[in-house]
Amino acid sequence: MNETIPEGGVRRATGVRRRALQRIPPAPHAWPLLGHLVPLLRDTLAFLKSLPAHGGLVRLQMGSVPMVVICDPELTRQALLDDRVFDKGGPIFDRFRDVLGDGLASCPHHEHRRLRRLAQPAFQPDRFPGYGRTMTACIEEMTGSWTPGQTVEVTAEMMSITSQVTAATLFSGSLPATELGLLTGDVKTIASGVFRRMFLIPPLDRLPTRGNRAYQSAHARLRRTCDRIIAERRADGTDHGDLLSALVAARDVEDGGRGMTDAEISDTILTFFLAGTETTASTVAWALDLLARHPEIEQRLHTEVDTVLRGNPATYADLPRLELAGRIVTETLRLYPAAWFLTRSVTEDTRLGRHLLPAGTSLVYSPFLIHHRPDLYADPETFDPDRWDPERPQPPRSAFIPFAIGARKCIGDTFATTEATLARADIRPLEPEVPARP
């Protein structure tokens, strides 16, 4: 590194840090005092798509807080692969940690490797046929309750499906139907409130508003449920073939055979709940919307489903033959990645590209921004599942990051795409009218 932050003198060091950030090109249209909050909130996605024109790194001012947005796919890849220097953190992510605790997705780098090793057995390939059977049963139960002529609210119905799938794969048959219903209701309450709360400045998140009270009650009740079931499983000692059994039984051979604590399992379960409900529900809802606007692709999907399934529900074994359904899910994740705006925190003075980033810098990376770059994707705004046909040239690996990459890539990526593909194959309009847009 050609330039370093001096050790002596806090004021001098602060000045060097400020000058280092000021060398990064600023985004246009900053407001006095508010910085880029107004253009960002006015049209978030259009604003993000405009940033690559200003450089590989672009500086934002969020009120008084500077943030650096990574606009280049290779620089994004570099940051994600070095999760020690570019650790989970930043203003938005710190609020996320308040909700999830130190689970697998939110813990700092020094805790992550051990938790990842412990959670990995829950996502081994031999467990997926069982998860697939649970997914198929839940999807069939929900879609089987729909009647011809019925209008359904797509996002709410998808949330119901994904929350039931997540609860069933986590807890198997441990919960009575009534308690399972309360639990999935709590998950939906938390999922609908978690992102709003990330932007609430304390003490606004503690005001006794109706939304805050509902969220806090659901969060406390869900924690109590998880803690009780964990205690019961430890006493039982039986492998129920679900995610919770895998987490309870896991032992880290690199750490003296130590397993997860109850608090770590509880944090991880809550992470799986939120990651396995709202994000997958959003993906399926957007896929339905996109197909409604592209009836020729929808008809091709129906032809594939009729040929492969022959009137039967989609199962895990059918996935290799549901090629178009899989490409539709992939293209939906490109156009509308569920996690579209994420932050990291720089833990030590470093360089990213040609710019110095002082320790403590808040970085933003956006899968949405990368996925919509016209130099990476031809006609990036066009819904084209066939761009993922293996016979066609594929974009660089760094150009598709809906689940991130590196050591902190989402551990449930295969789980999510499996569920979304099965749901997309099984859900068909009951009338010529398409479902309402989410």
What is the signed CA dihedral for 278, 279, 284, 288, rounded to 10 degrees? 90
3-state helix, strand, coil in the chain (%, to 5): 60, 10, 35
Q: How far is CA 332 from CA 48, 159, 217, 291, 299, in A?
A: 18, 17, 34, 10, 17
Percent of the chain with pLDDT over 90: 44
Mean pLDDT, all residues of the chain: 86
Q: How far is CA 98 from CA 19, 89, 146, 267, 355, in A?
A: 32, 11, 38, 11, 31
Say yes or no to pLDDT of 16 above 90: no
- How far, in Å, CA of 427 to CA of 438, rounded? 15
C-alpha 438, offset from chain centre: 18
pLDDT for residue 188: 75
Instruction: Name which residue leads in pLDDT, 21 or 420.
Output: 420
* Under 8 Å between Cβ of 236 and 95: no
For 207-242, how does the pLDDT look when each residue is reduced to its tens digit (9 = 90+)? 777 878 888 888 888 888 888 888 888 888 888 878
pLDDT in tens, 343-352: 999 999 999 9
Distances in whole angstroms, Cα of residue 177 to Cα of each of 136, 162, 379 = 18, 16, 47
The pLDDT of residue 15? 65
Segment 168-205, tens digit of pLDDT: 888 876 677 777 778 777 877 777 666 666 555 566 66
pLDDT tens column, 369-389? 999 999 999 999 999 999 999
* CA 217 – CA 226 distance, rounded (Å): 14
Tens digit of each residue's pLDDT (9 = 90 or more) over 33-82: 888 888 888 888 899 999 999 999 999 988 888 899 999 999 999 999 99
Q: What are phi and psi of 31, to 5 degrees?
A: -100, 150
> Does residue 76 contact residue 70 with C-beta atoms inside 8 Å?
yes
Number of CB atoms found within 10 A of residue 323's CB: 15
How far apart are alpha carbons 419 and 287 in whole angstroms? Answer: 13
pLDDT band at 270 (very low <50, low <70, confident <90, very high): confident
* Interaxial angle between packed helices 128-144 and 154-171, expressed in degrees from 0 to 180 and rounded to the nearest 10: 140
Look up residue 342 and give its DSSP letter: E
- Per-residue pLDDT, averaged over 287-306, amounts to 96
DSSP structure class, residue 361: P
pLDDT of amino acid 196: 64
Confidence band (pLDDT; 50, 70, 90) for 436? very low
Across 278-286, average pLDDT: 91
pLDDT at 391 over 60: yes
Amino acid 91: pLDDT: 66
Q: Pick the range with the lowest mean pLDDT from 202-206, 254-258, 284-288.
A: 202-206
Residue 258: strand pairing partners: 252
Query: Is the per-residue pLDDT at 103 higher than 90?
Result: no
> CA angle, corner 127, sides to 121 and 130, nearest 5?
150
User: How many angstroms separate the Cα of 100 from the Cα of each of 217, 219, 275?
Assistant: 15, 10, 11
Cα separation, 335 vs 209, whole angstroms = 35
Q: Is the pLDDT of residue 269 over 80?
A: yes
Provide the percentage of residues in the chain whose pLDDT is more than 70: 88
**CA–CA gap between residue 257 and residue 268 (Å, rounded):** 19
CA distance 327 to 109: 33
In which band, very low, low, confident or very high, does the pLDDT at 390 lie, cut at 50, 70 and 90?
A: very high
Decide: 366 and 48 in contact? Cβ < 8 Å. Answer: yes
Within 8 A by CB and 6+ apart from 22, the residues are 59
- Those residues whose C-beta lies under 8 Å from the C-beta of residue 88, and which sit 6 or more positions away, are 97, 105, 106, 107, 108, 109, 112, 344, 345, 408
Candidates 421, 431, 430; CA nearest to 139 is: 421
Distance between CA atoms of 45 and 91, rounded to whole angstroms? Answer: 20
- pLDDT band for 159, please (50, 70, 90 cuts): confident
Type of residue at 268: T
Q: What is the pLDDT of residue 202?
A: 61
Virtual torsion, Cα 247, 102, 189, 427, nearest 10 deg: -50
- With 80 as the cut, is the pLDDT of residue 155 above it? yes
Length of the chain: 438
The answer to whether residues 42 and 56 touch, using CB atoms and an 8 Å cutoff, is: no
The sheet carrying 362-365 orders its strands as 57-62, 65-70, 362-365, 342-346, 86-88
**Calpha distance 170→127 (Å, rounded):** 12
